[in-house]
Amino acid sequence: MSSVIESLEKDRPVRIGVIGLGGVAQVVHLPLIKDIEEFELVGICDTESFKLSKISDSYNVTGYIDPVQLIEKAKPDVVLICTPTITHLPLALKSMQAGAHVIIEKPVTRNLEEARRLQAAATQYGKHIFVAMNLRFRQDVMVLRQFLQASELGELWRVRAGWLKRSNTWARSPWLDQPTISGGGVLIDLGLQMLDFVHFLLGSPKPTRLSCDLSHMSLRKDVEDTATANIHFESGPNLLLDVSWGLMAERSVAYTYFEGTNGAAQLNPLVVHKSMHGELVNVAPVKTAKPNELYQESFRTQMAHFIQVLRGEGESLSSIFCSYHDIISVWKRRMSSPLPVCFQARYFRCDNR
């Protein structure tokens, strides 16, 4: 069983193959891969032949209907998986068995058991598994992380985070509300992303107690469309999480507030108020990028970071096993209802913590 991850050579591009040519692949990943000189796109794959033909012609790259053919014939260093969640585990396993590292679009798997199988395979084959949590790599998130690491807000005591989508714009994929394919509802879709980057900003504290309410009342789907959670940690603030696909309003809403004894901060947009000489002063950078620019650049920064890690040029921001397993254990002790799959590890390496 391998326990060492070999770094890729630094004097050649990273060979990458993309499986799944849906919206995120077409709008974000493929244009970005083409634009990053450290990448060489060696193959793409999709089960829709017409779409595959058009995109392969556009990028002058070989297209494959069968993902196994891409993995075996194109011989990528890393495989980017942008397919429905039900396929993440088998495609990642085949990729690692063939010698490739893996980048998986969120969520990593449908449930904890599948995630554990991925972790075991990464250990066995000595491969990286990255999960594309781009919110961690937003410029405003990274700036706020520096403020929090320096304890600029004093002792944090509460965090409020929410992502509420308008009820008529919630669906990006037709399978999101099919639990056997997606693994769950709004918790695994929006909740996982919010939980991940907030937990990251807090320094991955160990959870000790949580409660969660799920509702199907808005959209009447087979999965939850609204969820609220209150998570207490061993050290640091408690987190109030609110996510929904069913907001009845003109616009969707996303917010994050950090409250401390010496100040407060918010994201979207970034504002940092600090108590100084009895006055509240906004100490955030004056110039902040527009939301769409922050979104696009977060993917670029994320991919650049993955390349550095693959080449052994730095430690991954996600290299330490985040304590979602602890959240799961707390949930199982206190709740009789099925465990929402959003509380699962979103990044696995060869270490088992």
Mean pLDDT per 10-residue section of the chain, whose length is 353 residues: 82 98 96 97 98 98 98 98 97 97 91 85 93 93 95 96 92 88 91 90 86 89 92 90 95 96 94 91 82 92 96 76 45 45 33 29
Helices assigned H by DSSP within the chain: 23-24, 30-35, 49-59, 67-69, 88-97, 112-125, 139-149, 179-182, 186, 192-201, 291-310, 324-334
Q: Which CATH number fits domain 136-294+323-334: 3.10.180.10, 3.30.360.10, 3.40.50.150, 3.90.226.10?
A: 3.30.360.10
How far is residue 185's CA from residue 223's CA, in Å, rounded to a whole number?
A: 5
pLDDT for position 2:
55
Residues in the chain: 353
**pTM confidence score:** 0.89
pLDDT for position 349:
28
| Cα 109 to Cα 142, 216, 249, 262, distances in angstroms | 26, 22, 31, 39
| Cα 98 to Cα 77, 107, 109, 117, 121, distances in angstroms | 10, 23, 20, 17, 12
pLDDT for position 210:
83
Torsion angle defined by CA atoms of residues 221, 131, 20 and 2, in that order, rounded to the nearest 10 degrees: -130
- Structure token digits, residue 189: 């879709």
* Strand ranges inside the chain, DSSP E: 14-19, 39-45, 63-64, 78-81, 101-105, 129-132, 156-166, 207-215, 226-233, 238-247, 253-260, 263-267, 271-276, 279-282
How far is residue 90's CA from residue 82's CA, in Å, rounded to a whole number?
A: 13
User: Residue 141: which of 35, 28, 297 has the closest Cα?
Assistant: 297
pLDDT for position 1:
52
Bridge partner residues of 159 (DSSP):
239, 258
Secondary-structure class of domain 14-135 per CATH: alpha beta
Radius of gyration from C-alpha coordinates of the chain: 20
Sign of dihedral through CA atoms 111, 163, 210, 322? positive
Domain boundaries, the chain: 14-135, 136-294+323-334
- Structure token digits, residue 157: 């005591």
pLDDT for position 209:
82
The amino acid present at 225, given as its one-letter code, is D
